[in-house]
Amino acid sequence: MTVMTETTQRTNTATATRAGKQEGATQGRGGAGAPAETRGNTAIADAVVAKIAGMAAREVPEVHNLGGGMARAVGAVRQRVPGPGGGGVTQGVKVEVGERQAAVDLDLVVEYGAAITDTAADVRTNVVNAVERMTGLEVVEVNIAVDDVHLPDEQDESEQTERRVA
């Protein structure tokens, strides 16, 4: 989990005030006179950024699925298990979150016929916009690995499992 904070600003103001210097009226002040955005810390968990990135990547129509072959197979089994932990939204998504920045790695399966470089660019743009808008973090990179191409006549692992069980 990552904590974004304005403590540096408050520390510098407190040091200057102790030294007899007066800073700006609202800089780093706590209490009723301080701006709301400087009152406290905001913590954004890695899982939150991963979910946002996963949803944003799936919004691109040419993306069939996220995750490599084994990850998709395990994900199909996990979705059948009741309770929490089905977490398919973050399948194929890895993130590193710092205080003010985030990096995202995605494993994609694209639809056959899609221009892979254009699809990757669309995914990258969508992920950067969504993560930056929702978290305020700067996205420094979105690395994309295309692991597979979904052919029109192929079935998903979950569809194959359903037919065997039914």
pLDDT in tens, 70-124: 544 555 555 555 555 555 899 999 999 999 999 999 999 999 999 999 999 999 9
Same domain as 139, residue 153: yes
Judge if 147 and 103 occupy the same domain: yes
Please indicate, yes or no, whether residues 30 and 64 belong to a single structural domain of this protein: no
Quick check: 93 and 52 in contact, CB under 8 A?
no
156 in the same domain as 141: yes
Residues 18 and 76 occupy one common structural domain: no
Q: What is the domain extent for residue 23?
A: 2-42
- What is this structure's pTM? 0.67
DSSP-H helix ranges across the chain: 7-18, 46-58, 69-80, 116-135, 157-165
pLDDT, residue 70, reads 54
**What is the pLDDT, as a whole number, of residue 18?**
39
